[in-house]
């Protein structure tokens, strides 16, 4: 089973991945795969609807649906393919407020970057977890206390802290 975690630790996955809307049963929180003709299934409230996106998606295509989605899962085909970092940022920039999940063999050393780019949680394959168990993810999160980049650290970036008093009106 894949492992799901967020900043608080390993968490249970309340979402179920289905291949198409026909598989949705009552009371299920589902993650549908992206398709060109995707439309949010009628009657499904946004907090029960998730969407899995490839990392080369044209964001303009998914933008109209963002308000109807409770979760977006972004595919990371390999840890070295960093498109998902920018895609996460762009989705947040477009106003997506739901849960953002990175899905794929990303490594513990990328955890902090993912959170900084707007992700809430990470779903990794089980095989990876045997090599990189939870303590490594916690350590990775604490490794660097503060990055420089404004806008990626919830107001606590080095550049912001240096000037926080200067910024007050």
Partner 1 sequence: MYHYDDFDAQLVRERVAQFRDQVARRLDGSLTEEEFKPLRLMNGLYLQLHAYMLRVAIPYGTLNSRQMRQLAMISERWDRGYGHFTTRQNIQFNWPRLADVPDMLDALAEVEMHAIQSSGNCIRNVTSDPFAGVAADEIEDPRITAELLRQWSTLHPEFTFLGRKFKIAVSAARQDRAAIRVHDIGLEVRRDAAGNPGYRVLVGGGQGRTPMIAKELRAFLPRADLLAYLEAVLRVYNLMGRRDNKFKARIKILVHELGIERFGEMVESEFEALDRSEEVPVAAEFARIARHFAPPDYPPAEDEPEALDRALAAHSDFADWVARNGFAHREPGYLAVTVSLKPIGGAPGDVTAEQMRVLAEAAERFSLGELRVTHEQNIVLPHVRKSDLFALWHLLRGHGLDTANRGLITDIIACPGLDYCALATARSIPVAQAISERFADPARQREIGSLSIKISGCINACGHHHVGAIGILGLDRAGVESYQITLGGDPANEASLGERTGPGFPFEQVPEVVEQIVDTYLALRMPGEGFLQTYRRVGMTPFREALYAGAA
In whole angstroms, the minimum distance from the beta carbon of 99 to partner 1 comes to: 19
Per-position b or e across 151-165, b if 16+ CB within 10 A of its CB: ebbeeebeebeeeee
Q: Does 145 bind partner 1 (CB under 8 A)?
A: yes
**Shortest Cβ 115–partner 1 spacing (Å):** 8
Burial of 124 (C-beta count, 10 Å sphere; 0-12/13-18/19+): buried
- Decide: is 126 part of the binding site for partner 1 (CB under 8 A): no
Answer for the pair 32, 21: CB distance below 8 angstroms, yes or no.
Answer: yes
Q: Is 163 in the site for partner 1 (CB under 8 A)?
A: yes
The radius of gyration of the chain from alpha carbons, rounded to an integer in Å, stands at: 17
Q: Could you say whether residue 87 binds partner 1 (CB under 8 A)?
A: yes
Q: Residue 107 interacts with partner 1 (CB under 8 A)?
A: yes
Question: What is the torsional sign of CA 34, 83, 123, 73?
Answer: negative
Per rule CB under 8 A, count of chain residues that contact partner 1: 46
- Write each residue from 13 to 52 as x if it is in contact with partner 1 (CB under 8 A), else as -, in one continuous string: ----------------------------------------
Is residue 88 classed as helix, strand or coil in its secondary structure? helix
Residues that bind partner 1 (CB under 8 A): 56, 79-83, 85-87, 89-90, 92-94, 107, 109-110, 112-114, 116-117, 131-132, 136, 139, 143-152, 155, 157-163, 166-167
């Amino acid at each position: 089973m894949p492992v799901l975690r967020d900043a608080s630790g390993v968490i249970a996955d309340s979402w179920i991945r289905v291949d198409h809307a026909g598989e949705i049963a009552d009371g299920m929180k589902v993650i549908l795969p992206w398709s060109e003709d995707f439309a949010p299934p009628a009657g499904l409230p946004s907090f029960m609807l998730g969407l899995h996106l490839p990392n080369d998606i044209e964001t303009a295509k998914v933008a109209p649906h963002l308000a109807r989605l409770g979760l977006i899962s972004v595919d990371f085909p390999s840890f070295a393919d960093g498109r998902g970092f920018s895609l996460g940022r762009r989705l947040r920039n477009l106003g997506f407020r739901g849960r953002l999940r990175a899905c794929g063999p990303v490594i513990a050393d990328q955890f902090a970057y993912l959170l900084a780019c707007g992700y809430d949680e990470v779903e990794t394959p089980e095989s990876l977890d045997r090599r990189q168990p939870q303590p490594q993810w916690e350590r990775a999160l604490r490794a660097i206390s503060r990055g420089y980049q404004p806008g990626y650290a919830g107001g606590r970036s080095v550049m912001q802290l240096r000037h926080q008093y200067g910024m007050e009106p």
